[in-house]
Amino acid sequence: MIRRVLHAAHLALLAQTRAYFPHVYAGVTAVLVLVFRFAVPAEAVALFFPVFLFAEPGMLGVNLVAAQRYLEKEEGSLAALLTTPLRPQEYLAGLVLASALVATASGCVAFALVLGPDARVLLLAPALFAFSLLSGLLGFALSLRYGDFTRFILGQIPFVVLWQLPLLGFFHVLPWPAVAWLPSAPAIAVLADLCHPAPTFVTWAIGCSALLALGAAAFAWASRSFTRRIRSAAELA
């Protein structure tokens, strides 16, 4: 199973590269690193940099996973993949794994370039990876809900707005208890803590555990929904 998941992730990375998805990540990351290095005052970096680390994998993960799904469906590659021993759950795992790897690499490189290559990068990688997986699963779930990419772009707006609400809690626009129940809230808590000059391991451990638990539940739900769609042939129609 692990070999098939890794193979699915490799195929997803090739498809994303062919569609220039990693280039989008790299372009966005490069621009924002330059902004934080040369335009944002040093005392404001710790306040605003977590917003970038939260928003980039959140927004791009949701949209690019869905974009790849629609592209594969249009090309018929999904139907071809499912004639192999690859199961729907393994396809889903490979898809979100590939997206999370690209997002995590971009975020860690940005962190090292903006805040310096210190030990916090080792804590950032699993936190960002878990959040990127969760974001990709949200994009996948929304792509199951909407039949084409145009409807997806419009239909995702309320979900993405809700997904980003923890940022208002981070900036004290809303009280944190009002947004802490959202699945994306542990991510902003962890990233804000890691960008602080003196991060606490407790926040990192609790936040990562919450993200992994939420990701496991989201994967189980999305996998069951996707499998039902495959069995009913609705996904391949």
**What is the DSSP annotation of 60-117?**
HHHHHHHHHHHHHHHHTHHHHHTTSS--HHHHHHHHHHHHHHHHHHHHHHHHHHHH-S
Tell me what percent of the residues of the chain surpass a pLDDT of 90.
10
pLDDT the model gives residue 166? 92
Inside any domain, residue 76: yes
Count of domains in the chain?
Answer: 1
Could you tell me if 194 and 123 are in contact, meaning their C-beta atoms sit under 8 angstroms apart?
Answer: yes
Tell me what percent of the residues of the chain surpass a pLDDT of 70.
96
Give me the mean pLDDT over the 120-135 stretch. 89
Which of 13-17, 69-73, 125-129, 187-191 is the least confident region? 69-73
Could you tell me if 138 and 163 are in contact, meaning their C-beta atoms sit under 8 angstroms apart?
Answer: yes
Give me the mean pLDDT over the 149-165 stretch. 86
Give the structural domain span for 121: 2-231
Residues sharing a CB contact under 8 Å with residue 48, sequence separation 6 or more, in sequence order:
36, 40
pLDDT the model gives residue 217? 92
Tokens of 63: 């949209």
Q: Running DSSP on this structure, what letter comes out for residue 147?
A: S
Could you tell me if 89 and 162 are in contact, meaning their C-beta atoms sit under 8 angstroms apart?
Answer: no
Could you tell me if 225 and 143 are in contact, meaning their C-beta atoms sit under 8 angstroms apart?
Answer: no
Inside any domain, residue 220: yes
Is a pLDDT exceeding 60 seen at residue 37?
yes
What's the Cα-to-Cα distance from 144 to each of 14, 112, 120, 179, 215, rounded to whole Å?
Answer: 22, 36, 36, 26, 17
235 pLDDT band (50/70/90 cuts)?
Answer: low
Inside any domain, residue 223: yes
pLDDT the model gives residue 236? 55
Is a pLDDT exceeding 70 seen at residue 234?
no
Inside any domain, residue 237: no
pLDDT the model gives residue 74? 74
Residues sharing a CB contact under 8 Å with residue 127, sequence separation 6 or more, in sequence order:
187, 190, 191, 194, 204, 207, 208, 211
Residues sharing a CB contact under 8 Å with residue 171, sequence separation 6 or more, in sequence order:
none
Mean pLDDT score of the chain: 84
Which of 7-16, 71-80, 183-192 is the least confident region? 71-80
How far apart are the C-alpha atoms of 165 and 45, rounded to whole Å?
Answer: 21
175 pLDDT band (50/70/90 cuts)?
Answer: very high
pLDDT the model gives residue 106? 87
Could you tell me if 211 and 80 are in contact, meaning their C-beta atoms sit under 8 angstroms apart?
Answer: no
64 pLDDT band (50/70/90 cuts)?
Answer: confident
Which of 45-49, 59-63, 202-206, 208-212 is the least confident region? 59-63
Is a pLDDT exceeding 90 seen at residue 186?
yes
Tokens of 174: 């809303």
Tokens of 73: 């469906």
Inside any domain, residue 133: yes
Inside any domain, residue 236: no
Is a pLDDT exceeding 60 seen at residue 187?
yes
Inside any domain, residue 41: yes
Q: Running DSSP on this structure, what letter comes out for residue 237?
A: -
197 pLDDT band (50/70/90 cuts)?
Answer: confident
> Is pLDDT larger for residue 117 or for residue 167?
167
How far apart are the C-alpha atoms of 37 and 2, rounded to whole Å?
Answer: 40
Q: Is 128 helix (H, G, I), strand (E, B) or coil?
A: helix
Inside any domain, residue 62: yes
